[in-house]
Each structure stands twice: as structure tokens, then as C-alpha cells.
Amino acid sequence: MTKVKGGTKRGLAAGLLAALVGLGHCSRPNAENGLEDASRDGQERLLEEVLLSRVRVEGRVLAPGGKALAGAEVRLGSLIAVSGAEGEFLFPEVPPRNALLEVRAEGYYPELRPLGLARPPEEIALGVLVVRPAPREPEFSRLLFGGDVALGRRYLDVDGGTPPEVLPADNPAALLQVSDPLPGARAVFAQVRPYFQAVDFRAFNLESPVLDRPETPHPSKAFVFFTLPGALGAFSWLGVDYVSLGNNHLYDYLEAGLDQTLANLASAGLPSSGAGKDARQAFLPYRTTLAGRELSFLSMTSVSGSQYQPDLVASDTKGGAADLRDDQTVLEAVGKERNGGRLPVAMLHTGKEYSFSPSEYALDRFRLAVEAGASLVLAHHPHVAQGFELQGGVLVAHSLGNLALDQDRLETMLTVLLEVDVRGGAVVGARALPLYLEDYSPRPVTGELAEALLRRLGEVSKGVQVCIEDGKGQLVLSGSARRQRRSSTLEVQLGPEGSELLDLRSLRREGESLTRLGGFGERVVELGRDYLLHGDFEDWDLDDETFELSRWDLSRPSRFACREGARRGLLGLCSSRSAGNEGASHLRPLNTVRVAALTDTPVPSVTVLGYLRGNNAGASTVEVSFQALGGGDAIDEKNLDTHAGGTYTWRRFSGRVTFPEEHLDPADVPGTHGLGLRLTVTHEPPVTGAALLGLDDVAVVSWERKHQGPGTLLLPLPNQYDFLTLAGPPGTVLLELEWERCGEIGE
């Protein structure tokens, strides 16, 4: 049992900075026992009422120094306003859908801010949104970098079964059509185009040859990519100025594919570097001038494909990618640009796939690039967004993850764009813009999902403070960030079993992390983070859909998003059954959940928890199993919870599960044992009538920090620790919690 003092249970939404006031009739009925309406139609009507409501958004546009900026154009979806004499703007009635706020003024960079408006009105706080666009200056430029992009495979063939040497037939269900890939390619990037249009220079890693004759796939590679030339127009539409080619897929179609790629990029007017017909050509930089300063872009990979014949890197006698393993050539190539008075930007393809932290070899390659004279280092290849650091005063992005790639691993679906400010010859600012890849297409993302990513990136960053502000991760590169603190207490009653699991998610406010824990005496404390991330069922991304719950299996009509199944926030997941049904309904995520510590070391066990609520519900069970990450049969199934059904308010299920011992040796994917976790909630038909089962706040928790008193436990800011176990002698414990958020000086 727990009691909260000095805090709030409204959670993240209580700290929103916009003035959002709910109008209309969308408040949720508060049934004392069970759900208010046990039918799917009734639940859909409740969600329709939410969409009919309106929220109020107001704010001010300020120039540097706090001076009001009048006459700025402010857009929120299809709505347009102009800031007044005091910089004020107002949208009195806004549909409750997530939207991108765009502020544009003469002589300033556009300021973009994702707003999470798909929230219950009672959870949205009052306030005034303050927007501060950056002024355009003679020696100042703003650049945008993304991760890996390849628009073949499942973009063209939804089943992914077409042989690599064959172009699939057009399929209306596919994102891109082979006969005309441009409209589909534009649609893939449509939601992030405003970010690309708001800067001076844009780049990403093109993880693919560009060809329309896939006749020469590499004879020994299991995975080969290609992008159709007709899709390149979408890159120009985005405003892309440069693509890096120094990666392990550029040579997927050998010399013929390399020739087509270089010719197609040249025909499209799209500059590149990092690949060539020999090593000399592959190491040549792309040079351009921004704000009177010449920049050089060099692209290289350490993923050489030495296990293949032929390998993937260029030499004196064959084409391919620039070889990052060649220390001397790297030093010479980067040093030449630095010595020539240019600003070298190193685009490095290195590290371990699907890892949360850079490998030791990747760190060594970063150091090599900095030693050679790079002014900015940007990495990719892990397909997972990683943290940031300063090496010798140089900003290094360990991995930018994927920007558009057809991967189904859950950990690849949260990613970032990195916005970088350059003044003169130095990087003076940077921001991580969180994205979510839904159906392989990047969308801006808000709320708890965005913050889960940014808190993880900040936790593993070194020498760089990541502050969560305005829906972005502000990187503090010099000086110290201003910290805002809030204290609360939590009364915990330890029973005879001497252990209590605490879910802290509803106690945390926007931008905060738990940074200090005291009052536990000699007891043992464990801290954990959630790796499922999509168990709150909220709609956090910005797109044309609402309430889609895209990471859960909704293929049957008995499974659907519901209002009355929400323990927190706006949405839960519901299962409907009736006495006449022959079989059960199964609630399960679409993806296997990979669990590993952020250091990519195996964890022996995890805790699975969630909350169930019923209205005449049938019997339910919660089961977990393990499965090889590459697919296959379930391994070692376990039952976590069984309930007889009926009408009941929220009850928590939880259970600690241990990885099968025979799979504890790390596999090719760091820290995973080669296994992921599968969760299934089964809902049987009721004895009589109609039944509804609500599910919310599901988590798969990895316990990654352990401490035994006495004293106070201090934690980094930010961090992603949202769960706590307390173990020790029975009795009452008054925990002391301190929460912090940070902002740049002058906030």
C-alpha cells in the first residue's frame, strides 16, 4: 500500500506548457466498479465524444532578450494566427489531436514544436506557451541530420518475400509502387518535412544503392537493400542537400549497383560522399559553403564485410565504401580538410547493431575522427538511437538510429533527428528531435513516449546534459543547465513478505526524472526501466490517424482502443466477449520485447506488470513466453496471473520471470540472450451476457540498479527509472523523493 504527499497523481500532462482548456462533454464517467459501457459501440461513442471536444491554445512569441515579436505567422494544423503587438496568439477551439505548432517570422528560423493534445482535458494544465524563434545571423547556420534510410524491401513488398534480384509487382497495400515510387516516398517523409524545411542544410545516411535493375545482388550477403531512382525526388522535395554512402549496404549490388547509384544520384543532383570506384575516390569529401564558411562532409564505415567475398569497402583495385579501419587514410583525409580551413563533418558507420551504447571500437573510431580534426562526428549503423558526448570539445552523436528503414524490432522504432547550430567555425548548439517510426515512416512524437527516448539518451550521454524542453532534447554543450527541483514523500507499507513493487509513472511530471531517494534505511532498493514503452496505449505521435494503438494486435474486432479502459490518460486496450462466443480473445503486442541493460549486458530476469479492469468480464490469464528474436516457437511459457472474472475496478498483476538458463549466453545481438519476451492476456467469454476487459499501463521492467542503505541514493539527470522495489523488514517506510528537470541558462 502506498500514499503520496507533496506531489500529484496527474502525472506528465500536469506540466504541459500550453494553455489548453477542455470544452465540450468529453470527461470520463467514473464507475465505482467496472467499466461504464461493456459494448464496443459504447466505447467508440465515448472516443467520438472526445474528438468533438475542443481545447484552447494560447501563447506568446518572443525575440531574444524577451522582446515581443509581433506579426509572426503561427500555424497549428490547418489553423493560422498572427502574433499581436505583445507577441500573443490564440487558438480558442482546437480539435484534440496532436499537432505541430509552427511559428515563422521575417529574419528568424521557423520554430517547430509538437503538441500532445490527444489528452483528457482534466489532465491538461493551464499556462501560456512561450515560443522563442532563433534569429538568422550572417555567420550562423542550422543543419539537420538523420540516420539510416533505405526504401526497398517491405516498402515495395508488404510480405518481403520477393527475391533480391526481382522488382516486385505493384501492390496497392505497399507504401511505394514500383511503377511510380515518388508519391509513396513523399508520403513516408511527409510528417517530418517541416523539420527539413526549417533549416539551412539537411543530410542523412543512404543505407542503400539506388538502382532499378537489381540484377547483381551480393552472392553471400543475407540482407541486401536497394532504393528505386524514382524515389529520389522525395529527397529533393524534403530539401536534402547531401547523403552519406560510406556504409555496409552501398555495395549490396556490387560494381554494377555502385555504378548505377553514383549515376542516379548525379542525375538527381544529389551530392554524396563515402563511396567510389576505388579507395581514393571513396575518401573524397563533399564540400559546400554555409554562412560564408566552407564545410566538408566525409563518410566512412568500419563494417567492412570482411567475412564476405567480395568485401564491401573500396581498395586500390575495387569499388565500395570508404574504409574507416584505415587509420592513416582517415587521418589524412580529415586532416586535409581541417588544414585547408574547412569545417570537417565526419559521418561514421560503425558500432554494433541493435545496441543501446557504443562499442569500444566505435568509441575508438570517434576518437580517431576527432584527433584527425573533425568538428562534428555523427554515427549510424546500430539502427537504435544512442547518446551524445563531447570529445575534446567536439560533439559526437553515437548513433542517430533509423530515419526510414523497414525493420520490425521494437527498439529501432524510436529515433531522432539532430539539429545542429554552427556559428563561425564552431558548433554552438544542438537539439535531439524525437521521432517514432510507424509503418516504417517517421512521425514527430510527444509526451511520455518522446520523453522515454530522451531520458534514455540523456542517461547514457557523457559530458553533454540533455534537457527535455519544448518536446525536444536540448543538448547543453557548455556551462551548466538550470535545475528545477520538486520534493514529495511516499508512504509504503511493507507486509510480511517484506517486499513492495512501486510504479512511479503517475508521480512524475513533464521533463522530470527521479534524482534522489531517501528514507529507506537499511532496506534494499532496486530501480528499473520499462522496455515495452507502448503499454500505456496513448496516441503520442503526429499523423493523420487517432487512437491507432499501432504496436498492438488489433486484427480482430474483439480488440480495440477504448476510453473506459484507461487507468491513466485517454486510452486503454479493451477486449469484448459475449456468452455466445466460442473462443477467447487475446491481447498481445505485435513485437517481441527485447530486454537488455543500457550497457548491453544480459539481464537474468524481468518483471512484467499491468492493470486490468472488468465489466462482467470473463476469466482472464496473463502469460509470458520467450522467443528467438528472429522468430520461431515460444520457449518456456509462464503464467503470471489468473482471475475468475466479473465486475471489478483496477487490479494490478505482476510477476518476475527469469530467462531460460540454456539461453543465457549472449547471441549476435548484444545483451539479449538471442531472446525476446512475448506477452499475452487471454479473455474468455463470460457465463452470461456481454463482457468487457480493460488493460492499461503494461510494462516490461529490467532491474538495472541495486542499492542497500543506509544513506541517500542519487541518480543522474535525466534517467528512465520509473519503477522501484523496496525489500526489508515489515513495517511503514516513508520514502523521500526528489524530482528534477533541467533547462538551459536563460530559460
Q: Which of 121-125, 336-340, 466-470, 579-583 has the lowest mean pLDDT?
A: 121-125
| 180 assigned to some structural domain | yes
Q: Are residues 119 and 167 in the same domain?
A: no
Last residue within a domain, chosen from 410, 433, 452: 410
Residue 16 has pLDDT above 70, yes or no: no
Last residue within a domain, chosen from 394, 410, 426: 410
Q: Where are the beta strands (DSSP E) in 684-744?
A: 690-708, 713-714, 723-727, 731-743
Tens of pLDDT, residues 20-48: 333 333 334 444 444 556 678 888 888 88
Q: Are residues 266 and 314 in the same domain?
A: yes
pLDDT-derived band at 9 (thresholds 50, 70, 90) equals very low
pTM of the model: 0.94
| 84 assigned to some structural domain | yes
Q: How far is the C-alpha of 85 from the C-alpha of 89, rounded, in Å?
A: 10
Residue 747 has pLDDT above 70, yes or no: no
| 733 assigned to some structural domain | no
Which pLDDT score, from 0 to 100, does residue 30 have?
40
Strand order in the sheet with 675-683: 585-587, 675-683, 620-628, 635-643
Please name which of 287, 274, 289, 386 lies closest in space to residue 330, comparing C-alpha atoms: 274
Q: Are residues 247 and 303 in the same domain?
A: yes
Q: How far is the C-alpha of 276 from the C-alpha of 313, rounded, in Å?
A: 9
Please name which of 561, 590, 595 lies closest in space to residue 696, comparing C-alpha atoms: 561
Residue 17 has pLDDT above 50, yes or no: no
Q: Are residues 256 and 379 in the same domain?
A: yes
Alpha helical stretches, state H, 445-589: 447-460
Which DSSP string do the residues of 258-298 spell out, in sequence order? HHHHHHHHHHHT--EESEESSHHHHTPPEEEEETTEEEEEE
Total residues belonging to the chain? 747
Q: Which of 108-122, 262-276, 347-361 has the lowest mean pLDDT?
A: 108-122
Q: Are residues 78 and 179 in the same domain?
A: no
Which pLDDT score, from 0 to 100, does residue 663 have?
54
Strand partners, 423: 140, 426
Distance of CA 675 to the CA centre of its chain: 22
Number of domains in the chain: 3
Which pLDDT score, from 0 to 100, does residue 121 have?
72
Tens of pLDDT, residues 651-660: 999 999 988 7
Which pLDDT score, from 0 to 100, does residue 605 have?
87
CATH number where 579 lies: 2.60.120.260
Residue 515 has pLDDT above 60, yes or no: yes
CATH number where 16 lies: 2.60.40.1120
Q: Are residues 574 and 693 in the same domain?
A: yes
Tens of pLDDT, residues 218-236: 999 999 999 999 999 999 9
pLDDT-derived band at 717 (thresholds 50, 70, 90) equals very high
Total Cβ atoms within 10 A of residue 290: 17
Cell numbers given for 297: 562532409
Tens of pLDDT, residues 111-120: 999 999 998 8
Q: How far is the C-alpha of 191 from the C-alpha of 97, rounded, in Å?
A: 14
More confident: 160 or 172: 172
Please name which of 516, 452, 498 lies closest in space to residue 720, comparing C-alpha atoms: 452
Sign of CA dihedral 665, 669, 670, 674: negative
Which pLDDT score, from 0 to 100, does residue 268 have?
98
Q: Are residues 105 and 205 in the same domain?
A: no
Mean pLDDT score of the chain, rounded to an integer? 91
Please name which of 627, 626, 656 lies closest in space to residue 640, comparing C-alpha atoms: 656
Q: Are residues 161 and 289 in the same domain?
A: yes
Q: Are residues 66 and 148 in the same domain?
A: no
Q: Are residues 201 and 94 in the same domain?
A: no
| 13 assigned to some structural domain | yes
**Segment 434-453 mean pLDDT:** 98
| 745 assigned to some structural domain | no
**Segment 446-452 mean pLDDT:** 97
Tens of pLDDT, residues 733-745: 999 999 999 986 5
Q: Are residues 87 and 173 in the same domain?
A: no
Last residue within a domain, chosen from 410, 445, 466: 410
458-461-463 Cα angle (round to 5): 115
| 496 assigned to some structural domain | no
In angstroms, how far apart are the furthest CA atoms of the chain? 81
Q: Are residues 595 and 677 in the same domain?
A: yes
Tens of pLDDT, residues 496-513: 888 999 999 999 999 999
**Segment 440-444 mean pLDDT:** 98
| 349 assigned to some structural domain | yes
Residue 684 near residue 580 (C-beta atoms within 8 A):
no
**Segment 62-73 mean pLDDT:** 96
Cell numbers given for 393: 570539445
Percentage with pLDDT > 70 across the chain: 91
**Segment 583-597 mean pLDDT:** 90
Most confident region among 92-96, 368-372, 597-601 by mean pLDDT: 368-372
| 572 assigned to some structural domain | yes
Residue 375 has pLDDT above 70, yes or no: yes
Give residue 573's domain range: 524-708
